[in-house]
Structure 1
Amino acid sequence: MNADHVFVCGNPALDFAATLRARRTLRFETLVSPERLDAWYLRAGMVDTLSPSRESDVARAIAVREAVYGLVTARRLEEPYDDEALATVNGAARKPPVTPQLTAAGRRTDATPEEALSTVARHAVEVLSGPDVPLLKECGNPECTRVYIDRSRGMRRQWCGMESCGNRLKAAAYRARRKRAQEPAGQ
């Protein structure tokens, strides 16, 4: 499985929650090092530069990620929130967030790992308390556990993203139909 970070969920907190992939089967972890955590913050466009993360920052980020995933799942299934998950996300959100600065060259955002994580937590608070709650869906790929915001017309989107899951499932379904059509009758 590719370890590159993917941003298809429609909200940074949802994309962050998806950094642990295939939760029901393989449990593929993408935040395996401080460098991978920093790469996520940079690729997400949250920061321009980041003071280097440490292992303790990775542990905090994973705790917040798991709390966000638990809260998103509870909200999507209309179940009560876990108190510990609430405390984890709210605690991170209370910290100072990333603060963009205006420079002669334009906008610049330098941050610490704690500020970047606070910004992720604040995105979680916003998505879980805002108008997009009814649009939260889990990917239709049984191997994928990404939750995304379905803003498609008619809310008919089935996959977190066509490139990541949709094309793969459509191709597999096509191959299965074709194989069935080629089988001799009576088998």
Structure 2
Amino acid sequence: MNLDHVFLCGDPALDLAATLRARRSERFEMFVSPERLDAWFLESGVVDAVTPSGAADVDHAKLLREAIYELVVTRLTGDAYDRRALAVVNSAARRPAAVPQLTPAGRWTDATPQEALSTVARHAVALLSGPDAPLLKECGNPECTRVYLDRSRGVRRQWCGMESCGNRLKAAAYRARRRRSAAPAER
């Protein structure tokens, strides 16, 4: 079982929302332990160091993740935001966030899990209320539920990532075309 975190979405809030994969079919949970949450914080670049998380932090991260996902999907459909999802994101954003510090070696951000989650919630607020919101797109792979920022030329990106979804769908389409062309012509 592959537990590597993937950051294809273009924003930490979207990457957090993508930690529950394949929401329409076989759900795949990335936050199976506090250590996996800590790894996500570090790998995402939200913080450089984090106080070890506990089970309650994982629960808070999942709650925030689901609220962000709900708000992002609602933004895509043009519907009104769910009040509960708004309350979860806004409550997390109001808490103290991770604060970068200048050190002799450069920028360093040390945080608690709550501060890291507040930082991600603030990213969600900035994204959903800012100029990048029209760039939100859901992956074209029907099995994938990642939402990403499409900053491609002409805003024509179709997949969350070529390696994860694009190549797989292109290969499947190619095989289907080959099967059709190889089938004996009916007369």
Code of the residue aligned with 1:75 in structure 2: it is R
State the match for 2:32 in structure 1: 32
Pairing of 1:13-162 with structure 2 (within 5 A): 13-162=13-162
AA at the equivalent of 2:111: A
- Moved >6 Å (runs of 4+): none
Residue in 2 that maps onto 1:175: 175
Structure 1: gaps (5+ residues) = none
Q: In the TM superposition, what is the alpha-carbon distance from 1:106 to its structure 2 partner?
A: 1.3
3-state DSSP of counterpart to 1:2: coil
TM superposition score normalised by structure 1: 0.97
Give the TM-score of the pair, scaled to structure 2: 0.97
How far apart in 2 are the matches of 1:176 and 1:75? 34
Q: C-alpha separation between the residues in 1 aligned to 2:136 and 2:107? A: 31
Where structure 2 has 5 or more consecutive residues not aligned to the other structure, the ranges are: none
1:186 shift after superposition: 2.2
1:98-128 per-position Cα deviation (integer Å, ceiling 9, x unaligned): 1111111111111100000001000000000
Matched, 1:166 2:166: yes
Percentage identity across aligned positions? Answer: 71
The SS at the match of 2:107 is: strand
Q: Which range moves more in the overlay, 134-143 or 176-185? A: 176-185
| Number of residue equivalences | 187
Residue 55 (structure 1) shift: 0.3
The more displaced of 17-26 and 97-106 is: 97-106
In the TM superposition, residue 135 of structure 1 has moved relative to its aligned partner by 1.1
**Counterpart residue identity of residue 156, structure 1:** R
